[in-house]
């Protein structure tokens, strides 16, 4: 019957997790069927241990919430508990993680089984067990050295530290052990207690066991709840008081400062290799930013500047009273600057986003380096001109000199933009009520009217006059040429006599005068007055005669009406600066 009843010996705690140290105890649970009673456990089994040669320091604690036998077996401390299940036999493949294993058990058995159930669940809920074990060893050693490893004294015990490290591992599943340790102190230093820490969502299996709830009973007064993952979920740190929590907060802050100081002193050759690689790829960031149409005048500043941060916290009031000062800054990287302007003409919204360009640069050019370690990182931070550090202006003579130079540049820039706007602005068009009146077709032009019409055509028509019916391409829509045409194709002879009967328009079109304002001669070398010239023009070569007459007013009007004013030049906004930081992860 005893052989058929079976049984199991379960191990929990640090020994099961693999982080036990020399001198640590081994938590064991004996799972027995209903035939075995606690009286047998504390009488028969106790007598067997008393007469065993390798067992010493045997102590039986029957009246505790969890009855236990503690003894030393070959100088190894063992804590033995018993869990009695309402079954006739205990199979070898008993799944203690099944909530149904708790059906019908007494409170002592339920608490005894809670230890191995919590341990097995933590192993399953840990995403990176190797990092978890490494950090847990360090945290346990640190807690013991700082006097925080005691559940009875109001601090935290072994299961509490295990849950905390497992929780940080869930938050940063791919982090290296050094980064995980840093995040451990960082998260706990800033945690908003009494917000509970839990590894998984609590549930009620409807077995009549109490599940921890922050809003019921005395649970609302617990200051540092750390919940166990197994059903029924309970607060494993109910002994923590307000005073002990304050002590642990101070130790978390101190531990964070020490870890930051240690991690900032990585090997200098790794830092130089990472910064040199990033410097060689900085041009890729400029190329990536150039695809943003809202950015202009991109320029990378080749000088690198040391990047520093304060590793120590600010001195407390007592330390300041005693003359203590914070720790000096510690160098851990370099930074570069890339400047750019924002072109308002290309803006499609009020905000200019460079996130896509930066992420493409980081993922395609930096993070693919085969020698990169998890401690090597890069940060891109936008910064305005006023926020630049003083070290940037040292080579320029200081911030005051740089500010003066910048003001002169902005002033010159505004003047150039103003001139560009004036040149691009359209000229006022003449109308019938204001300015020069445009005569109708067939109406004679005075000398001043001829000059104004030609000037308007040259300014608004881009230097070309279209004359319908002209056989000469130099007159039909072409640019103004510097030549004089004769009536029969030969060069015209000129005299220095100016006809007053028909005023001429000075120019290079070959209408009535040459460049010197001379009158145009006839084919036989005789000077023509206004009437004789017009008669000769009408009698010889009709096409050539038309070239010597002013352009029709209808064509000039059409040319002026078709002139479109170019868009005004918009001034870009103030210059912006971008701070590029290549740093090691802290």
Residues 12, 106: one domain? yes
- Is 60 exceeded by the pLDDT of residue 551? no
Report, as an integer, the average pLDDT of 409-438: 67
Asked if 47 and 61 touch (Cβ cutoff 8 Å), the reply is: no
Residues 488, 514: one domain? yes
Residues 202, 225: one domain? yes
Exposed / middle / buried, residue 243 (Cβ in 10 Å: 0-12, 13-18, 19+): exposed
Report, as an integer, the average pLDDT of 272-287: 89
Exposed / middle / buried, residue 270 (Cβ in 10 Å: 0-12, 13-18, 19+): middle
* pLDDT given at position 468: 39
273/322 Cα distance (integer angstroms): 42
- DSSP calls for 446-467: PHHHHHHHHHHHHHHTTTB---
* pLDDT given at position 498: 39
* pLDDT given at position 394: 83
178/183 Cα distance (integer angstroms): 9
431 part of a folded domain:
no
* pLDDT given at position 406: 85
Report, as an integer, the average pLDDT of 466-470: 40
The continuous run of DSSP H or E covering 576 comes out as: strand 576-584
162/324 Cα distance (integer angstroms): 36
The CATH number that applies at residue 214 is 1.10.1410.10
Report, as an integer, the average pLDDT of 518-540: 43
Higher-confidence residue: 31 or 3?
31
Residues 506, 555: one domain? yes
The CATH number that applies at residue 67 is 3.30.460.10
* pLDDT given at position 449: 41
| CA triple 221-227-230, angle to 5 deg | 140
Asked if 159 and 13 touch (Cβ cutoff 8 Å), the reply is: yes
Compute the Cα dihedral for 169, 170, 176, 181 and give only its sign.
negative
* pLDDT given at position 486: 40
Give 310-364 pLDDT, tens digit per residue.
Answer: 344 444 444 444 554 454 444 467 888 998 888 777 777 767 888 888 999 999 9
334 part of a folded domain:
yes
83/31 Cα distance (integer angstroms): 5
359 part of a folded domain:
yes
Give 290-306 pLDDT, tens digit per residue.
Answer: 888 888 888 888 888 87
- Is 90 exceeded by the pLDDT of residue 117? yes
438 part of a folded domain:
no
40 part of a folded domain:
yes
Residues 399, 452: one domain? no
Higher-confidence residue: 124 or 386?
124
- As for how many domains the chain has, the answer is 4
295 part of a folded domain:
yes
Side-chain-side CA neighbours of 40 within 13 Å: the count stands at 10
Give 193-204 pLDDT, tens digit per residue.
Answer: 999 999 999 999
Strand 76-84 vs strand 376-383: parallel, antiparallel, or unpaired?
unpaired
Asked if 173 and 193 touch (Cβ cutoff 8 Å), the reply is: no
% of the chain residues with pLDDT over 70: 67
Residues 170, 226: one domain? yes
* pLDDT given at position 144: 95
- pTM (predicted TM-score): 0.52
Asked if 576 and 341 touch (Cβ cutoff 8 Å), the reply is: yes
Single out the residue of 234, 241, 219, 258 nearest to residue 163, CA to CA: 234
Compute the Cα dihedral for 113, 117, 118, 123 and give only its sign.
positive
Distance of CA 56 to the CA centre of its chain: 63
* pLDDT given at position 33: 93
Domain end: 123, 141, 161, which one?
A: 123
Higher-confidence residue: 307 or 11?
11
Mean pLDDT of the chain: 76
- Positions of E strands within 355-397: 376-383
Strongest mean pLDDT among 43-47, 258-262, 502-506: 43-47
Give 381-403 pLDDT, tens digit per residue.
Answer: 888 888 888 888 888 888 889 88
Report, as an integer, the average pLDDT of 272-297: 88
Question: The domain containing residue 219 runs over which residues?
Answer: 127-263
522/497 Cα distance (integer angstroms): 13
465/555 Cα distance (integer angstroms): 8
Residues 136, 245: one domain? yes
Q: Could you count the other beta carbons within 10 Å of the beta carbon of residue 139?
A: 23
Residues 77, 197: one domain? no
Report, as an integer, the average pLDDT of 250-277: 84
* pLDDT given at position 475: 37
Report, as an integer, the average pLDDT of 88-104: 92
* pLDDT given at position 384: 85
Asked if 138 and 160 touch (Cβ cutoff 8 Å), the reply is: no
Beta bridge pairs of residue 377: 583
Report, as an integer, the average pLDDT of 233-249: 95
Residues 379, 317: one domain? yes
Taking each helix axis as running N to C, give the angle between helix 107-125 and helix 158-171, from 0 to 180 degrees, rounded to the nearest 10: 30
Assign 3-class secondary structure to 517-542.
CCEEECCCCCECCHHHHHHHHHHCCH
Confidence of residue 229 (pLDDT cuts 50, 70, 90): very high
Higher-confidence residue: 110 or 545?
110
% of the chain residues with pLDDT over 90: 40
Residue 397: is the preceding peptide bond cis (ω within 30°)? no
Residues 17, 82: one domain? yes
List all residues 6 or more positions away from 393 whose beta carbon is below 8 Å from its beta carbon.
399, 401, 402
Distance of CA 185 to the CA centre of its chain: 24
Q: Which two tokens stand for residue 490?
A: 């030969």
Residues 280, 240: one domain? no
| Whole-Å CA distances, 404 to 112, 366, 396, 400, 410 | 77, 37, 11, 6, 10
Residues 33, 102: one domain? yes
Compute the Cα dihedral for 429, 431, 435, 439 and give only its sign.
positive
568 part of a folded domain:
no
Domain end: 123, 141, 167, which one?
A: 123
Length of the chain: 586
Single out the residue of 514, 446, 459 nearest to residue 481, CA to CA: 514
Strand 519-520 vs strand 494-495: parallel, antiparallel, or unpaired?
antiparallel
Asked if 285 and 358 touch (Cβ cutoff 8 Å), the reply is: yes
424 part of a folded domain:
no
- Is 90 exceeded by the pLDDT of residue 522? no
Only one residue has tokens 């020490």, namely 258
Confidence of residue 552 (pLDDT cuts 50, 70, 90): low
Domain end: 263, 282, 307, which one?
A: 263
């Amino acid at each position: 019957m005893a052989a058929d009843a079976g049984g199991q010996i379960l191990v929990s705690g640090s020994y099961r997790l693999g982080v036990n140290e020399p001198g640590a105890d081994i938590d064991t649970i004996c799972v027995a069927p209903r035939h075995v009673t606690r009286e047998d456990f504390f009488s028969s089994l106790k007598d067997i241990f008393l007469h065993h040669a390798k067992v010493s320091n045997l102590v039986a604690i029957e009246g505790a919430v969890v009855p236990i036998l503690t003894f030393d077996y070959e100088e190894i401390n063992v804590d033995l508990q018993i869990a009695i299940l309402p079954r006739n036999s205990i199979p070898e493949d008993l799944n203690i993680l099944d909530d149904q294993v708790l059906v019908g058990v007494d409170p002592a058995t339920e608490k005894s089984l809670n230890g191995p159930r919590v341990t097995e669940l933590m192993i399953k809920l840990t995403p990176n067990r190797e990092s978890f074990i490494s950090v847990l060893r360090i945290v346990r050693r640190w807690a013991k050295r700082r006097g925080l490893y005691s559940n009875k004294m109001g601090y935290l015990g072994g299961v509490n530290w295990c849950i905390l490290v497992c929780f940080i591992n869930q938050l940063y599943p791919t982090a290296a052990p050094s980064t995980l340790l840093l995040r451990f102190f960082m998260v706990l230093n800033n945690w908003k207690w009494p917000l509970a820490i839990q590894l998984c969502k609590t549930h009620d299996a409807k077995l009549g066991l109490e599940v921890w709830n922050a809003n019921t009973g005395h649970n609302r007064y617990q200051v540092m709840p750390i919940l166990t993952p197994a059903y029924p979920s309970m607060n494993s740190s109910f002994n923590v008081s307000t005073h002990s929590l304050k002590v642990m907060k101070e130790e978390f802050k101190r531990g964070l400062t020490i870890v930051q100081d240690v991690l900032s002193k990585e090997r200098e050759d790794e830092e130089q290799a990472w910064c040199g690689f990033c410097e060689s790829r900085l041009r890729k960031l400029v190329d990536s930013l150039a695809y943003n149409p809202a950015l202009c005048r991109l320029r990378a500043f080749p000088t690198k500047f040391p990047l520093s941060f304060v590793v120590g916290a600010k001195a407390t009031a007592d330390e300041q009273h005693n003359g203590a000062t914070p720790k000096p800054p510690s160098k851990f990287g370099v930074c570069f600057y890339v400047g750019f302007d924002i072109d308002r003409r290309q803006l499609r919204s009020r905000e200019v986003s460079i996130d896509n360009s930066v992420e493409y640069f980081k993922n395609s050019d930096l993070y693919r380096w085969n020698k990169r370690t998890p401690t090597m990182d890069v940060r891109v931070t936008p910064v305005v001109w006023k926020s630049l550090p003083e070290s940037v202006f040292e080579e320029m003579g200081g911030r005051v000199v740089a500010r003066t130079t910048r003001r002169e540049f902005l002033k010159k820039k505004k003047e150039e933009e103003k001139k560009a706007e004036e040149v691009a602005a359209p000229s006022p068009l003449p109308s019938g009520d204001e300015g020069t009146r445009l005569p109708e077709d067939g109406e004679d032009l005075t000398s001043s009217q001829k000059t104004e019409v030609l000037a308007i055509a040259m300014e608004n028509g881009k230097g070309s006059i279209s004359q319908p019916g002209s056989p000469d391409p130099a007159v039909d829509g072409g640019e103004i040429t510097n030549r004089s045409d004769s009536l029969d194709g030969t060069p015209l002879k000129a005299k220095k006599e100016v006809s007053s009967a028909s005023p001429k328009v000075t120019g290079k079109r070959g209408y009535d005068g040459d460049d010197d304002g001379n009158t145009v001669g006839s084919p036989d070398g005789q000077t023509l007055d206004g009437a004789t010239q017009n008669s000769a023009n009408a009698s010889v070569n009709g096409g050539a005669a038309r070239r010597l007459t002013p352009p029709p007013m209808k064509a000039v009007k059409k040319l002026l009406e078709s002139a479109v004013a170019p868009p005004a030049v918009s001034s870009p906004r103030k210059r912006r600066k971008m701070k590029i930081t290549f740093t090691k992860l802290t």
